[in-house]
Structure 1
């Protein structure tokens, strides 16, 4: 196990192997087997590129050899910040094959997040596009490399733009050269960490989540089975594929596991997604609730044939029951609710569930070996039907974050249950209904915002005396963020504070949607800032002391 990671206790590991959950396969082997089985069948569609399984496997071999030639070694961390492009698959499978560890950054991350990720993981390389959505990642990479001593290489999918940066295209070696740079026999073991994902944590910057080949491939296998994927399935990826939901639930990797076809979209807008559903005969797509609402509004006004779409998955945040009821009627496909987390546990409504289950619950655990508890503030299990904090452990739920021993003591129970921070109730048939959050976190359309992180940035402004960030309900995103601020040393506007946060390199989705100015904060009986009262103020927006600036 990678230093800084916590393995499953041997008794649990043995149980999961004996039960057939962990089958001793690596991602490199998985792709090799799919290439042998499916050959010239299309694996990935990106624009006008149609890449077969055999071609993908060959491209991965050539790029893996190029990474080795560049000096990237097994267990070295590599930050991967790529949008939905075909190079994403070449890159991650090449890293998997040599045992180097992708660290999945999101396209929206900026200097603050990337410097932290590179520094904390001691990354050896950083892989980016040249430009995407009008943003030049090469400028960002130059700032990051100047700040992180371990970062030896910046690799660019596209025009490197700087002499010190490496073109990803130039790393694909000829077939004749590949044998000089290692073989599958020298790759990782199934129990090794395969990659590091980001948590949607509540304290400061995200924690890193170690996922092994064994545990993640098991989650793909179970997801593909529950979602009835096979070689004829066509999955449309409209969400950023580095997110756990579109990566594995069943996502792009689950689709490749099943031998199906992945169609990459650079946007989830109906103008982009609907033509792809029609032209590529898409059978399954995954969206977050705000995007689902946009699709429901747009579908009656558009002419594309969506009849091949069989399943629309909605996850990342709770989907309102009223909107859920409209999916079958408006889009003509089955709704599947998905609730999960990058730390492990994934829940699905089943495709043959009755409407009341599909509409009103967020599914049940996908594995018979998933264990869930609902507990009160004293860790006592609540009565059936009552709301409690969801705790979980199982064959694909981690036992600890990377290099976070102190935090792990709070995030996990002594017997290995992960504290999700989600409040839930259980139906008599074992389905979860998500009721909210116990952690100080905002779920903005599936993007998780740690209130503490934004508060710390606001407190860096010379005019800010104190700051408190809370969630406020929103019809489309589920929640938006509202920052309450007490100022001193002169006046400052909400727009000025937002610009200040942008200039500090904070990702756009973390910038508060509203800023409220107050003379003092309400407090609880023990003297803490009462975020409950602040949330109420954000909703009411009627208190005389409050000046909300959009």
Structure 2
């Protein structure tokens, strides 16, 4: 039976049976698909009455949990959602609310976020969201300011070409760029993930990803809902609570970034009974590279395949993914094209044969049309053949499996020798005492850049820097061996839990 693919969020949430659970939360009352649809219609009507319609930007500053998931969907179905990291400081909120041209800001009732004072200064009305958990996880009411408003001209549910979601790129090397994603883009990505992972109404996801980031919003929430699945929304990642949630929610899968998987793995030995009682269909990893050693350990502990996927904000998340069994999934690969077309090209944008290293490019209905108000970035981001340049370097095997060799901007240039930091990571991770590793460039007055690495040791282990450098020297060419290895209690992470190479030398005081 041919399915009609949803091209708007309003259509996407029609997937589940009216009485089937859409959203839940540990310890909470479930919210059905019927209730989610009614909540969405009420929210669109309330926004329209206040003059907010299709294309108007609504900043959302809410903590992780079912209300954030429901508010994102309900607002994006009729306007443009702009989720912002609640941990931002006033200066950051000033930049983002200004840059987005937000027409409204939604915060939780009683919230003391600095975003409120910033919005008031900028003249952006503040709406308070009051959770009503007794009516279902994620259920809420909105309280608008007491000012007269003219109803929206463009009201009702959004069209496929309307912008559903705006996010900023992380901006590690430049000013953050606005990524506008259409209704059709986010729905295409949700469909691609649903098909890759074969979601059905029998699945239950445990969302631990932040919901101000593309990974959590699309893979954690929209993709499973588009398959009629249930998602249990936690207050955010907490390794100490993960196995308690697992025992209560009984998920069939979860998605996370590698640092979270490693933290979960660190507590798995004392939670064997929970793992045995709750078999998972699969585990998904995305947003940064999964060390092959960690992948093997997770698969051994959980007895489930770990499927590494490849995503980015500009593609509304997923571009490639390892497939479910019985098809093979490979450590060190992000799998097969899983939605958009993928090619490897040279500097002129011309395709390269299988096995050759070049830039990874994509095109498809999940890919943004272009950055907002940024002609320079767009001229650099798209090839003349119409492919989007990911900025990643990689190779495609003859079977179509994609391996990422590094970010073009992260490649270390040591006196003209180009070094992939991932290659060095994988060697250092082979040392039995090493738990986490990030290799990065450190400025050098003669060579331009020198190789440096930051590591975290496994619990109870000790290791000298010189011994780890000797270990690396036996396995790497001399120019690839880190000149300096920092042994830390914790490596600084970005807001979404990713280990970021760019800027790490400055963060660690090496510049």
**TM-score scaled by length of structure 2:** 0.75
Q: Give the equivalent residue in structure 1 for 2:202.
A: 232
Q: Distance in 1 between matches of 2:154 and 2:304?
A: 42
Partner residue, 1:499: none
Could you tell me which of 191, 212, 215 is aligned with 2:185?
Answer: 215
Aligned pairs for 1:13-412 within 5 A: 23=5, 25-31=7-13, 33-34=14-15, 37-47=16-26, 48-98=28-78, 100-129=79-108, 137-146=112-121, 148-149=122-123, 151=124, 153-157=125-129, 169-171=141-143, 186-249=156-219, 251-306=220-275, 307-344=278-315, 346-352=319-325, 357-367=329-339, 370-412=340-382
Change (3 A) 1:111 1:412: farther
**Shift of the alpha carbon at 1:383?**
4.2
1:238 to 1:363, Cα distance in 2 relative to 1, 3 A? same
Aligned partner of 2:403 in structure 1 is 433
1:16 maps to what in 2?
none
Give CA-to-partner distance per residue, 1:163-190, whole Å, 9 cap, x none.
xxxxx73449xxxxxxx97899843222
Give the match for residue 17 of structure 1.
none
* Gap change, CA 1:413 and 1:113, over 3 Å in 2: farther
Shift of residue 397 of structure 1?
1.2
2:484 corresponds in structure 1 to 541
Contact kept, 8 Å, 1:97 with 1:184, in 2: the verdict is no
Q: How many residues get paired?
A: 431
Structure 1 gap ranges (5+): 1-19, 160-167, 173-179, 443-469, 485-520, 525-529
Unaligned ranges ≥5, structure 2 = 132-139, 145-149, 413-420, 454-478, 487-504
Q: Give the Cα–Cα distance (whole angstroms) in 2 for the partners of residues 394 and 309 of structure 1.
A: 31
Cα contact 1:401–1:408 (8 A) shared by 2: yes
How many Å separate the matches in 2 of 1:483 and 1:112?
A: 29
Q: Does the 8 A contact of 1:399 with 1:416 survive in 2?
A: no
The question of whether the paired residues in 1 share the 8 Å contact of 2:55 and 2:162 is answered with no
The CA distance in 2 between the partners of 1:276 and 1:395, in whole Å, is 35
- C-alpha distance in 1, partners of 2:285/2:393? 19
CA separation of 1:25/1:354 partners in 2, compared to 1, >3 Å: closer, same or farther?
closer
| Structure 1 position 204, deviation (Å) | 2.8
> Given that residues 275 and 304 in structure 1 are in contact (C-alpha distance below 8 angstroms), is that contact kept between their aligned partners in structure 2?
no
Q: CA separation in 2, counterparts of 1:46 and 1:183?
A: 36
Q: Distance in 2 between matches of 1:387 and 1:117?
A: 37
1:400 partner SS: coil
| Distance change in 2, residues 1:340/1:22 (3 Å) | farther
Q: 1:226, CA displacement in angstroms?
A: 1.4
RMSD between aligned alpha carbons?
3.5
3-state SS in 2 of match to 1:385: coil
Partners of 1:338 and 1:197 lie apart in 2 by 20
Structure 2 CA distance for aligned equivalents of residues 40 and 24 of structure 1: 20
Rounded to whole Å, the distance in 2 between the matches of 1:353 and 1:113 is 46
TM-score (norm 1): 0.70
